[in-house]
Structures are given as structure tokens and as C-alpha cells.
Structure 1
Amino acid sequence: MASLMRQLQSKAAVATELAAKHGSTFYKRLLEENKQYIQQEPTVQKCQELSKQLFYTRLASLPGRYDALWKEIDYVKQKIFARNDLKLEELGIAALFLGECYAWFCVGEIVGRGGTLTGYKV
């Protein structure tokens, strides 16, 4: 266990060194590449305006998303009604998807209650 901690500490030290060495250049390059998205007047009013624009844009996209949801539901209904014609590949994908959803639910419950996956509290 102690050797594992030493390995983890050495890897963390290497990562910290790399971040300290290349972090500022990465930050500057990232800002330079995305300068078209940066507001030149970073005021509170401008931030509130952008927030409202985002909110109402998302609100305006709801009817399209609602229609897409019902198309997906209709597709699933058709697959359920024609379940005798399903291929083994489609059944496998559905089973994996359901298993993944169930696993995320269980992991979410464990983490939400303050537990850990391994059972050991850190």
C-alpha cells in the first residue's frame, strides 16, 4: 500500500511539474484560438444579457426537442411491436444500454449517499 502511495505521489509530482511548465502557454493558446467568443466588455450587464440570450435561446429550442423526443418514442414503439423481427445485434445493444443505465443509477445512489465504490472511506 505504501509503495502504491509513493507511485501515486511521484505521478502527481510529474503532472504538477508539467502543468506548471506548460500550463500558461496552453492557457494563452486556448484564449487566442477562441478569442472570437470572448466579450470585449466583461461587465455585469453584458453577462446578464448573455445569460438571458442563452436562456431564451434554449427555451425557443424546446418545441424542436419535443418533436424529436416523440419521434424517438414512436421508433421505440415500432421496435417493441415488431420485437419478433429484431436482430441479435439490436437486442445486445439494448441490453447493454439498459445495463449501463442501471449501473449509472446504482453508482449515483452510492455516491449520493456519501459512499464509495470500493467501500473504503477516504
Structure 2
Amino acid sequence: MTPPGRALAILVLAAMMAVLACRGEGQDGVRYHSRGVLRNIAHPDGQRVLLIHHEPIPDFVSRDGRKKGMASMAMPFGVAPEVSLDGMKLDDKIEFTFIVDWERYPTSLVTDVKELPPGTPLQTSPP
């Protein structure tokens, strides 16, 4: 496995472990909207995790309550039970809504996702 492939596998494994440790499925928290590229779909123990390389999120608020923004990056997201992933596949361009709740694990939970047309330009840094 190549170093970038190994790093991706480690990131996905960490996300799977985070989802398995999930306690509580409340949807309180701060809601964000973003777009990105779907890099992986995992189903550890029946839980769903998406690895999404998302665009910058300029209004992102950190754990300490400060608006710091977030650069474009690939990161794991839990997926709410009611969200359909039917037809989603790797490298799809997507638009999604997620909630960040610093008291829940996983911290970031996708609550809505839809596929974008393949030619949609995105502001993502290289994976």
C-alpha cells in the first residue's frame, strides 16, 4: 500500500472506531453546509461513515467557541440514520449538511446529502 493509501486507510479506521464509540444520537449542535468529494464509504458494525474531502468552511466555530474557519481537507463524518446513501459512490461530488456537537462522538454528523453534477467545480485542495 502506498503512503497516501496507508494514511487514508488509517483515517478511515479511526473514523470507524469513533463511530463505534458513539453514545447518543441527538442532533443538537451547530449546523453547517458544504460541498466536497466522497472519498470513502464505510459501514463498521452497521454504522455509516463518510470520508469527504470538503471545501473550506469559513464560518466554522472551534471547540473553544471561536470562529476560526476550516481549510479544505478530507475528514470522516458520521451519518444520521435517516440519511439515504442510495446511489452514492466514491469520487461523487456532493453537497451536504452536517451538525457539529462537541459533546457527541462522532463530533460531526451528516444530516443531509445530495449528489452534484460531475462537472461541478469545487474549491478543494489536492487529497
State TM-score, norm by structure 2: 0.25
Asked which structure has the greater CA Rg, the reply is 1
Greater relative CO (CA pairs within 8 A, separation 6+)? 2
TM-score (norm 1): 0.26
Higher strand fraction (1 or 2): 2
Q: Which has the higher helix share?
A: 1
